[in-house]
Structure 1
Amino acid sequence: MTSRRIAVISAGLSSPSSTRLLADRLAMAAVRELGGRGDEAVTDVFELRDHAHAITDNLLTGFAPPNLETMINAVASADGLIAVTPIFSTSYSGLFKSFIDVLDPDALTGMPVLLGANAGTARHSLAIDYAIRPLFTYLHAAPVPTGVFAASSDWGGAGDQVSPLGERIDRAAREFAAAVAGRPAASASDPFDPANFLGEGRSFGHLLGGLAGE
């Protein structure tokens, strides 16, 4: 049995939030699908709202506080990523984008990603494909074909696994599990590896404040 580690990021601003609820359902479905393939999966779930000040500090100074650095390393070293954001003004939230901006540009290269989003109305259901998917494609990640969007009306049958939302979650989880299972298991970073000595292998440009001239 292969051990897999899935990072889950939720950009909901309230507590509790429907964003976190969607992230949890996607994570449970992914773990179930990976288990069916003979892979033992564990999840590391991160609420971005708990790190909002640290993310801002990182953007301003170029250095991540220890708790944010731990989260960044967990995401970058995972076998797969589940990323869920609320939709504001037809796109991902500012907090979600700010976290993506503090990642090393190569951190998600080739990583399977399951995309999720939620909003009050189904009018924003295409936001995953016209806003969120291009962001991860630009980072050379590998988002699975099915993204899961949930409007407020979808949660009326949230406990029904044959509801339209449940069907979308199951389909996306199958695609995600297949993508994760098709890759070699991620190995933990060696802290004594020279490549990881400075900031867990992150570039000098990232450590010194990101893009020059910004």
Structure 2
Amino acid sequence: MEPLKLVAVSAGLSQPSSTRLLADRLAEAARERLDDGSRTVEVRVVELRDLASDIAHNMLTGFPAPALREAVEAVTEADGLIAVTPVFTASYSGLFKSFFDVIDNTALAAKPVLVAATGGTPRHSLVLDHAMRPLFSYLRALVVPTGVYAASEDWGGTEGAAGGGAGEGLHARIDRAAGELALLVRGRGAGAGTDAVPGAGAGADAYDPDTVVPFEEQLAALRPTG
């Protein structure tokens, strides 16, 4: 049986990076949940900072360089995806968005995705719901219920983000989100597909012009008859 493939995308720019650290923590937690002995689990982290030039060239020319092509294939062929971005101006970073712009907008349909972000203050935590969920919903991915946001204060101890300390609350969120991702990945691997999730995969493919009632008829049905 082929191994389960888990890919984490990190859009951190600095080195060391709290964004990469969060991606590693999430990937390890999800791997532990998935590694039940029935199938091996392969984990890969894609560092977007190393692909920044290739992403820009791809957007200009439409042709990916070999390293970018390999990263895109890893993401699109993954059984589960973890997407982590730093918060820039109350949203995901431009590098993060550009990477997913070069991926075909149907390639992530029905793929389990865990969204996560890092920032300096808890005030930016809404980025998970007002920016990241809409992005992956548009791409028709299956976004797990729990998103993980890590502010500077969430990294506990005196080590700080770069040192790897993490607060108890962040640990709990990571564990819960990883468990949810593992459940979706197992279901997908068992052949659940989009039929197992109500509304999954709905979109342009679900449009049937023969079943659409013309707008004029809908208005007419609302007019009083007496």
Alignment of 1:171-186 (within 5 A): 171-184=176-189
Equivalent residue runs for 1:43-122 within 5 Å: 43-122=43-122
The CA deviation string for residues 6-32 of structure 1, in whole angstroms up to 9 with x for no partner, is 111100000110000000000000000
Gaps of 5+ in 2: 158-163, 192-226
TM-score by length of 2: 0.78
Q: Give how far 1:40 is off.
A: 2.1
Q: TM-score if structure 1 supplies the norm length?
A: 0.82
1:80-130 deviation digits (Å, cap 9, x = unpaired): 101000001110000000000000111100000011100000000111011
2:22, 2:36 → 1: CA distance? 21
Q: Where does structure 1 lack aligned partners over 5 or more consecutive residues?
A: 187-214
Deviations 1:10-62 (A, max 9, x none): 00000110000000000000000101474421111110000000000000000
- After TM superposition, the runs of 4+ consecutive aligned structure 1 residues lying more than 4 A away are 157-160
- Higher mean C-alpha displacement, 177-186 vs 9-18: 177-186
Between 29-38 and 135-144, the greater mean CA deviation after superposition = 29-38
Counterpart CA distance in 2 for 1:104 and 1:92 is 19
What SS does structure 2 have at the residue aligned with 1:183?
A: helix
CA RMSD of aligned residues (A): 1.7
Quick one: percent identity of the two aligned structures?
A: 57
Q: Partners in 1 of 2:2 and 2:178 — Cα distance?
A: 18
Letter in 2 for 1:15: Q
Structure exhibiting the larger radius of gyration computed from Cα positions: 2
Structure possessing the higher relative contact order (Cα contacts under 8 Å, 6 or more residues apart):
1
| Alignment: residue pair count | 185
Distance 1:165 1:145 in 2: 16
Which one-letter code corresponds to 2:180 in the other structure? E
